[in-house]
Amino acid sequence: MLWFVIIGVLLALLYYKTIKPILYWKGRGVVYKKSYPIVGSLGIVLFQRRPFFNYVIDLYREFSNERYFGVYQFGKSALYIRDLDLIKKVAVTDFNHFTDHNSFTPTEFDPHIKRSMINLEGQRWRDMRATLSPSFTSNKMKIMFNLLSECAEDFTDYFDNQAKNIHEIEMKDIFTRFTNDAIATTAFGLKCNSVQNNNDEFYLMARKVTNVKGLTFLVFLMYILFPNISRLRMTSQSVSNFFRRIIKETIRQREKENFFRPDMIHLLMEARKGTNTNEEACLPDTGFATAEESNLIRLHNQKKIELSDDDIAAQVLLFIFGGIDTTSALLSFTAYELAINPSIQESLQNEVDDTLSDCNGKLTYEVLNKMKYMDMVISETLRKWPPGFQNDRICVKDYTIEPLNSLEKPLLIEKGTLILFPVSGIHHDPQYFPNPEVYDPERFNDENRNNIKPCSYIPFGVGPRNCIASRFALMESKVLMFHLLSKFNITRIERTPVPLKIAQATINFVAEGGFWLGLEPRMLPKYSFWLNQIMLWFLIIGIICLIVYYKAIKPLSYWKDRGVACKNSYPIVGSFSTVLFQQQALFYYVKEAYQQFSKERYFGVHQFRKPALYIKDIELIKKVAIKDFDHFSDHSSFTPTEPDSLIRKSLINLHGQRWRDVRATLSPSFTSSKMKIMFQLVSECAQNFINYFEKQKIDTHEIEIRDVFTRFTNDAIATIAFGLKSNSVKNKNDEFYLMAKKATSVTRLRFFIFILYLVFPKISRFLKLQMTPSSVRNFFRQIIKETVRQREKEGLVRPDMIHLLMEARKGNVIKDETHLPDTGFATVEESNMIRSHKRNYIELSEEDMSAQAVIFIFAGLDTSASLMSFTAYELAINPKIQGRLQQEVDDTLSDCNGNLTYEALHKMNYMDMIISETLRKWTPGFQNDRICVKDYKIDPVHSWEKPLLIEKGTLVLLPIAGIHYDPQYFPNPEVFDPERFNDENKHSIEPFSYLPFGVGPRSCIASRFALMESKIIIFNLLSKFNIVRIQKTPDPIKIAKATLNFVAEGGFWLGLKRRIPS
């Protein structure tokens, strides 16, 4: 029976002591974490399966919808408070209900632990805090700054003096040694260097105090679980006596010798005298994370309290308990994050370097506290890895938490209840700090820091019982980081843990496996300038190489990557190096490229950096130029168009719908009936040309015939396009001719601008480079404007291009030439797309009219002169062909009684055959182009082909010269044979194998004019002269390489020999 009683009593004790307490919160209707007897809610931590830091975050997130929740910790019922407003009330507003901290160490058996401020309670704590508070202000930190800076310099010098490329070290260990030395010098007045001396006595004693593992951890658990029966000390008597003796001896010595040293013992001795005051208002504060002293302490009516040696010793010893491990943890996590985030480290090092430069290499307290990025980095470390990841209070008198919603009830917090603040949980809450796992110092920049919610960032606690030494911890950390980063890069090494995990087997806030990082020496500042210069040049060269690769080399593989046969290309010059370096005329280049890829339907080249596709197959040419014209509606512009609207508005440079409207508007001005209107004006120019030579009493005129033909085409364009009477054959210094030559001659400067525009169009536009001087353009613009205004004013009508353009502007030009013969076989018919175009009425301004007139000079002067020159040359080389043509000329003159008419000219079959053959063999338009305006697919025809996507913007080229010299279309292509175009043969010519004026809707609009002009001059010339070879006549003829103009090497030197009347 006795045993039953004993067992019953034991069970009752067990229930009331271990089971009933864990149901405390359930009985009060508070959500709570499941707890177990003895270990409460902390089993996962106590059995070392989860770090305490992570446990707090897990708890916080588990009760995400609650303002508070219950746990059973440390042998007590405890309430975690999540709600920021409630934290503020508990810690600040209603502080008098929550004035005390929970003690985690036995205080009864060690007076120094009992007397330390963290363990004081009630009024004694208020008096002590108010007494000590002035010792931790900004200006008191300045007093100790130099001592900390010396420790940091000793620390960095130790590694700097070792000749290693990289120091692989466990950072927590060396940072603990630094914080040990810092506390030794600032709190105990001792000079200590445990970084260099691994067996330093002070360091070894301090480690015994702070290293909670093994037996110390067991004592800690015993005190928490069974505080009433625990009589064990966490710190041995010998360790306590060691630090007590140092402090007492230091105080005695200083009092005896009146010795002053700017450290914590001095400040505490001053506090004992009551001479410490708050006087630092003018100094900058230590950082954003600084815990400000509360008004309760500032305004405290401080009684003079006696600070005994034991009191001073207790507060100094607290530095060891509260400062060595936490500050070394802050430094370790900061170093780790800088190693993992090198861009952040680089930004901080830049600030360090700038600061060193500004303070002439000597760091000061004021300068340190102006370092914004340093403060941002330390602040972010304290957010992500706060050493004080949980804060506590003891309820000292009953307190009621009022409900905020229908789900809550009033909660009475009883006196003695433990209150906990889950700091790490709050710091990792996305609603306060988005992407909380990301290390981002920018959260604390000037713009963002003011948006941080009050009480959401509390690394040093909150309210009157916050950390009194926050300024010291921040200064200590910044000083060391400054000196360390001034000389070293913190780097990842093989043993660096990624990701970082907190150790489970210790209460200390450390990484699993340690903080293994590397210290890599930085280049000294005196060498750094030259290194930076070298690196800058390497960077510039690297960037240039990348630009060259991506802009000049990579594009060269464009066609190869797409499986298209292509010509060899070179950076910048592309496939046209022989042309650009004037080793080969572009005319021959086109022919040879065409012949090189004889089996291909198309092949790729690079026009400088731009990929271009030559199309050889005439069926494919038909599709690109006509059937699928909407994909290839634009021409490439080879001249800068932006600087001057006269060039930009010309028909050849217009795009899209504007081109369609203008082409449809102008097209009726170039029909056969309109050519007839202008026929007489061109004939008059031709007659003036003949008269000039006929009047000279010379049997044979030896002339460079292209020069005189250029003057004739100049006079024809002047009278037709500008309404001017000009005779530049006779007047060598004719102003219109000189201006036209300036417009069309490709000088070296213009050739350079032309190349620059093709290679670097954006730069050319930016520089506003122009191939034609503005004075030339303004000259022609003024002529057109004056002529138009004069005709409108006086009602003058002259059958020329200006009249037709003025009629087009009015919408009066219509196509009415169906009954007239056309100009020749080479004539390009207007496309059905343009004929059937529903022409919108568009306003042709004087500038638009000027642009179309000026294009006659650019496109007509040089090309027509070339056609006439090659025709004359072939007639001189082939006298039989010339004789037959002269016979046709004589017969025609006879038939029209010596007065050539438009109709008679166009009945001359042999004349048309000769002009057609010249245009085949020496076509001025030996290459034609289109721009792909929307993606286009070429389907394969041969087995070796694949579908080819022509991308928008790709240049498409038609090799006219190559096609005209292809024996499958024109046998013996090098032979000048007009019979190819007789009535029997010309119908056998394959469609799209003869394209002297281009093909499709964007063919030459003025082909009729060019043919009429050429036939008229050749007719009149042959009626009076024989064209003969002279000594300077080139044979064979070669195209000039040194110019873009289509001319003979050395010139077209021929003779005009008077014919003897029959």
Residue 1005: CB partners within 8 Å, gap ≥ 6? 651, 663, 666, 667, 670, 830
Token reading at 169: 């070290």
- Whether the link from the prior residue into 521 is cis, omega within 30° of 0, is no
Could you give the CA distance from residue 476 to residue 483 in angstroms, rounded to a whole number?
A: 11
Angle between helices 735-744 and 705-721 (to 10 degrees): 110
Question: The sheet that has 418-421: what strands, in order across it?
Answer: 68-73, 76-81, 418-421, 391-394
Q: Give the per-residue pLDDT at 853.
A: 77
Q: Please, what are the domains in the chain?
A: 53-522 (1.10.630.10), 586-1058 (1.10.630.10)
Specify the DSSP element, H or E, that contains 594. Answer: helix 586-596
Find, among 916, 931, 933, the residue nearest to 978 by Cα.
Answer: 916
- Tens of pLDDT, residue by residue over 905-934, are 999 999 999 999 999 999 999 999 999 999
User: Is-contact 776 742, C-beta < 8 A?
Assistant: yes
Number of H helices, E strands in the chain: 43, 18
Could you give the CA distance from residue 421 to residue 88 in angstroms, rounded to a whole number?
A: 11
Could you give the CA distance from residue 101 to residue 321 in angstroms, rounded to a whole number?
A: 15
Residue 112: CB partners within 8 Å, gap ≥ 6? 240, 243, 244, 310, 313, 314, 317
Could you give the CA distance from residue 814 to residue 670 in angstroms, rounded to a whole number?
A: 10
Point out which residues pair with 81 in neighbouring strands: 68
Backbone angles phi, psi at 657, to 5 degrees: -65, -35
Please check if 395 is assigned to a binding site: no
User: Is-contact 429 456, C-beta < 8 A?
Assistant: yes
* DSSP-assigned letter for residue 445: S
Token reading at 457: 């960032």
Terminal alpha carbon distance of the chain: 165
Below-70 pLDDT ranges, the chain: 1-2, 4-20, 74-75, 104-112, 210-236, 274-286, 296-305, 524-532, 638-646, 745-772, 811, 813-823, 833-842, 1062
3-state SS, residue 736: helix
- Tens of pLDDT, residue by residue over 174-210, are 999 999 988 888 878 788 888 888 888 888 887 877 6
